[in-house]
Amino acid sequence: MGIRGVLFDWGGVFTRGTFDGRVVRNLARRYALEEDAVSQAYFDLVERLELGEWSLKRFWEALSSRLAVDAPYRSFEQLFLGSVAPRREMYELLMALPEELVVGLLSNNYPVISRFLRAEDSFDRFDAAVFSNEEGVKKPGNEAFLLALDRMGLSPEEVLFVDDNPDNIEAARRLGFKTHLFTDPGPLVEVLRAEGVRLRALPARP
């Protein structure tokens, strides 16, 4: 086998579109706001959430104040979780990976969402997981990648890193990872097979 492990990003790989983009659009629609204004406020504050410095409730307090929105936290939490749009083909591919392949997850993520993901049955297929909000380190910083490698028990040359963000791909490449810039599952399947990964049968697609 050409590789011994695969390290996945979550948002934009296991979801359709970027999670943050969907949250911004859903907020703008829910409260009849300009999407650009929501985006500016959201991305000004979201790093505090990614690094685990704020709870999701604290984030909403700051964001709703910036946007002059009077709405309870629970309604925002429901919108936040409702913005997850799973890419089912990728979860099918995850379960088709052979048992001997070490599978990791490296995600710049948020409180509530990371707990939501851990509760899913498919999460058991990940042998190692690094969420930025739990560890205080995030991509494209080297510390995040090195922590993931340590938990996987592999060297970068043994791992294919899969992400939809070119900056993260470049950071991983500099550390010695094999890399794949994700666009959709088809090309990734071909890369895995070229690396000698024998996939279990995948569901037929029309």
10-residue mean pLDDT profile of the chain (206 residues): values are: 91 92 96 97 96 96 97 97 94 95 97 92 95 96 98 98 98 98 96 94 64
Residue 203 lies in a domain: no
Residue 165 lies in a domain: yes
Query: Rounded to an integer, what distance in angstroms lies between the CA atom of residue 51 and that of residue 140?
Result: 13
Residue 205 lies in a domain: no
Residue 34 lies in a domain: yes
The CA angle 119-122-127, to the nearest 5 degrees, is 95
pLDDT of residue 206: 53
Quick check: 96 and 201 in contact, CB under 8 A?
A: yes
Quick check: 180 and 164 in contact, CB under 8 A?
A: no
pLDDT of residue 201: 78
- 92 and 189 both lie in a single domain: yes
CATH of the domain at 30: 1.10.150
User: Among residues 56, 82, 108, which one ends one of the domains?
Assistant: 82
CATH of the domain at 12: 3.40.50.1000
In the 8-state DSSP scheme, what is residue 88?
H
- 175 and 99 both lie in a single domain: yes
Residue 52 lies in a domain: yes
pLDDT of residue 204: 62
Give the domain range for residue 152: 5-16+86-194
- 12 and 23 both lie in a single domain: no
pLDDT of residue 205: 57
- 69 and 113 both lie in a single domain: no
- 9 and 94 both lie in a single domain: yes
Burial (CB < 10 A; 0-12, 13-18, 19+), residue 108, is buried
- 119 and 58 both lie in a single domain: no
pTM for this prediction: 0.91
Locate 5 and state its tokens: 């492990």
The number of folded domains in the chain is 2
Whether the ω angle into residue 140 lies within 30 degrees of 0, i.e. cis, is yes
Residue 151 lies in a domain: yes
Kind and range of the H or E run holding 105? strand 102-107
- 99 and 58 both lie in a single domain: no
Residue 42 lies in a domain: yes
Residue 206 lies in a domain: no
Q: What backbone torsions phi and psi does residue 139 show, to the nearest 5 degrees? A: -65, 145
- 106 and 73 both lie in a single domain: no
- 77 and 92 both lie in a single domain: no
